[in-house]
Structures are given as C-alpha cells and as structure tokens.
Structure 1
C-alpha cells in the first residue's frame, strides 16, 4: 500500500513476535533508516526520496511507534531494549533476504543502530549515527545543565503509570512542546505538515505513549547496563561509522561527542550542522551531504 513517503510502498513484516511497518523504495545497496523519539518513519520525509535515488531504502517504524505493534513492557524493561529492537531489524533483513545493509539512525533509532552493529556485526556494512552519543556515555556526562535540558530521560523512565498519566492529560500539547523546544528555531514550522500530523496522531494512542516511556525505561536500565558491560569487555564497533551532530543538540552538550564514538568504533568520521535536534527536518541537505558519500564509498 502507499506510504506517507512519496514513492515508497508500505508493507507489514511479522518477526520477533511482533508486526513492524516497513516502507521501501529505490535500488542499489540496501540502506535501513531508523527514526527516533517522539517521531516515526515520517521524520525521513525530507531526505528519504533523495536517498532512494542512490540506494534501496528501507524505513522501519520501531516497535511502539508509527504503524508497528506496541507490545506491553516487562518488569525488567527488556521489551523495548535496543538489543530487542535490533533483533527486530535483523528479522526485517531476514524477511527481505538481506544478508547485510547500511544502517542510519537518528535519536532512539541510532541507539538501535549501534546496538545492532555491536550484537550483529556481520549484518552491518556501514553505520550512520545522527545526534546521539552512546547511552552509557550520555548518562555519565550528566551535569546540572544537561540534566535540565534532557529532563525527559528521567521523566519518561519513571515507573508506570506516572509519566503516562501526566502526558495523557494533554498528549498533543506535550509532543508539540517536545518537538518545538528541541529545534534551533524553537518552532514547529520546521516540520512538514504531514509529518507533524503523524506525530500528533501517534501521541493520541495511549499504547504508544506507554511504549515511548518503556523505551526510556529500557534506556535507563537495560541499555545502560549493556553499554557498561560492553565497555568493560572492550567490545567495539567494527563497521565504519559516520556521526552527524547538531551544533546546538544534546551530544554537543557533552563537550567532545565525536571522541566518545572514537572510543567505541575502529573507524569514525564526523560532521556537524547548524541545526537543533531534528537534523533531517531542520537541515536535510546537511544530512544528505554527510551520508550519501559515506554510504556510497
């Protein structure tokens, strides 16, 4: 069926015990795009058609987001761990007959992407990361100023149902505030109307609000512990890595975000752009300039 991304078709793939919504277009080397919070596949609207001119582009709604299933969380917060989400993406690759692919992720999707590269190194050709540093490193970098700006990391991770109830009082207002406050211009105008409508519609589903909170509960527990164990074991990302960070985004607050990635990966390139957190919508050309040559190399 038709997708909200021009030229893409949407299908459903059942894998790892859930159903995932997948959008696909283009020919060439396979390139999987993974969105972040509080968004879905529509965050790629400004760049996916251009990428599809060079690559076989596969855009996945992560579990709990978009049109994918939103299973309930478990007590140990593994259901929305990035390890489990990475298994989802491996399942999508298996269903599509892809032995390997390039992976590009933003925000939460970037956390899935680097976990995929760590847990399944034989499936990742090149790894693209937009606007995050590794989960364990981000927690370790917290100062009073960063805690103030990234308050959602602790708010959303509070035990259920506190954040769900508070967000549920005005879900669209909360999502609008989050989106607007993380942009450079402090404006919703940077988001294409169709994308903004998709984010607002998603926010109206209590199951998806619960899934977003579960995503961050996993980040505060399971994901952080996995990073710490990998760091202690000396595990590193083998795939070449390209890191794009916004000059006013969250990674920039850690001081030297590219250096954090160089401690995790063998081969790291980086670039910055004049943008807030949502680079694909605020600075789409910068995203294309960074990643088209990287994935085409």
Structure 2
C-alpha cells in the first residue's frame, strides 16, 4: 500500500493482531481511524498538516490496508468495533500512550466512539466524521436510506455470497462505491496513489472477506452493544466534535447533531457544505478548519 509524505510505516503487535501503522509529527498524540472501503490513505491530505501540531498515528484497521486480516468467527465478534477498539488500546500501549485524541471517519468513527465508551480513560478528545451511532442508523432506515446504503445489508449477507460477487471485479466495485458516495459522482476527489491503494485492497480476497465481516458485525454485535449502552444510560465522556457532509449519510437522519447529543456529554458540530461522504479527500480544508480547534482546545 502507498505511504503518506513525511510519515514512517511500521508493523505493531497489538492484542492478537499486528497493525500496519503510519506515524509522523510531534506533540500530543492524535490517532486517525479510516473507514470503508479505504485505508490509511484516506488521511493523506490532512495528516501532514495535523502533524505540524500533533504526533499523528494512522493505523490500518484490522482487515484493511497492510494490517492482519484474521478469519471471522460465527458471531462476527472478530470484526466487532469492540475488538477493533481493543486493537487501538493495544497500539497505544505499544507506544506507551496513556491517552490520545481520536478522530474517525466512517467505520473508523464507529471504532472511535466504541473506544470512547469502552475505555473512557484512554480518549482525551473525540472527533467523528460522517456517521451516527450504529443502532441509530439502523433505527432510521426507510426506503430512501435503504437504497442509498444498500451495502449495509449486502455486505452483511452470509458468506460467501457478497465475497463471491465482489471478487468477480473488486476494483470496479470499489470504484463504483467511491464515485457514488462522492459529491461529484466520480473519482476526481481521489489522488491516483490513494485510489491505487483502495483498488489493490479490493483485489485481495482476504481483505474483501474482512470488509464483509466488518459489516456483518455492524448488523449484529455492534448494534447490540449500542443498544446495551443506551439501555444502561452510558454516555461518551470525552468532548466530541462531529462533522457531516451536506450530501452524506448522516444528513438523511434528520438532525444528526441532536442524535450525538443524546450519546455524549459534550457535543459540538457542523455540516460541511458542497461535500460528499469522503470529507477528508473532498474537502480537506473544511475538515481541518473544524477539527484543529477542537483538538487544540
């Protein structure tokens, strides 16, 4: 996979899995967590500027990029956001970081808020891009959202159906996904090196299986964990800043900022205009304008 300018790649043994990690800069630790169908390269436009103020750490989530892709289990706990959050705790332990800021997009944002719920002492400030909590997203489904977010049910189908269909031409499937979720409806927002890394990932059957397992967890255990937290009254303690795209998925959930205010004690946020789902590549300046003040506070 491609690297990020000014960052050094290493492989770090965590709790039962080894993650590929890019690290650069100096200052307070800031962990960036990518989403589907991407990897660390989702951050390549914003990470160098964040590294001017922070020690920026960018892992590939398990199953993505150059990280290990363990086989799934029957209950899909291997790719639960709880397990992925444990990976990040293991990464922090390996780097001797008692606490860090965490910023996540898409699936990485689901790992980020699960980390804040399960390990509140490890998260200083939290940034969320382009999601609402998993249980809330499922609850909001209607015809329009189901058609737009069809991948939630398609990828969650029992193996090997989605894997078989995607593996027929994984790069083409990912191209369509990236284009259809961007504001312009094409691939112009994605740098050639980033796009090549996403396509290479989609051409690897092990990565395709992991991405499907990620969504199988989202349809089961991740949703159940959210519902249990809501029932118990648990909330995110870390100050949370949430941004969503005018043409993204949370915008279809009515008032997404109000949703997050029911999940966290301190919430701020704003909508990014003229942007699709892939905010860090479609509108990197807007992401930095929103997130830098939050993490520097």
TM-score by length of 1: 0.99
- For 2:167 and 2:10, the matched residues in 1 are separated by 30
> Structure 1 residue 35: deviation in Å?
0.1
- For 2:188 and 2:21, the matched residues in 1 are separated by 27
- For 1:27 and 1:293, the matched residues in 2 are separated by 17
- For 2:62 and 2:250, the matched residues in 1 are separated by 24
2:113 equivalent to 1:114: yes
Question: Which segments of 5 or more consecutive residues in structure 2 lack a partner in the other structure?
Answer: none
2:153 equivalent to 1:160: no
Higher mean Cα deviation, 270-279 or 205-214?
270-279
* Match of residue 126 from structure 1: 125
TM-score by length of 2: 0.99
- For 2:238 and 2:194, the matched residues in 1 are separated by 31
- For 1:281 and 1:103, the matched residues in 2 are separated by 19
Deviations 1:140-194 (CA, angstroms, capped at 9, x unpaired) = 0001000000000000000000000010111111000000000000010100111
> Structure 1 residue 16: deviation in Å?
1.2
* Match of residue 280 from structure 2: 280
* Match of residue 251 from structure 1: 250
Question: Counterparts in 2 of 1:47-196, with a 5 A limit?
Answer: 47-196=46-195
* Match of residue 233 from structure 2: 234
Deviations 1:16-65 (CA, angstroms, capped at 9, x unpaired) = 11110011000111000000000000000110000000100000100000
1:3–1:9 contact (8 Å) kept in structure 2: no
* Match of residue 18 from structure 2: 19
C-alpha RMSD over aligned residues? 0.8
> Structure 1 residue 15: deviation in Å?
1.2
- For 1:150 and 1:3, the matched residues in 2 are separated by 28
2:29 equivalent to 1:38: no
2:2–2:41 contact (8 Å) kept in structure 1: no
> Structure 1 residue 272: deviation in Å?
1.1
**What SS class does the counterpart of residue 36 from structure 2 fall into?**
coil
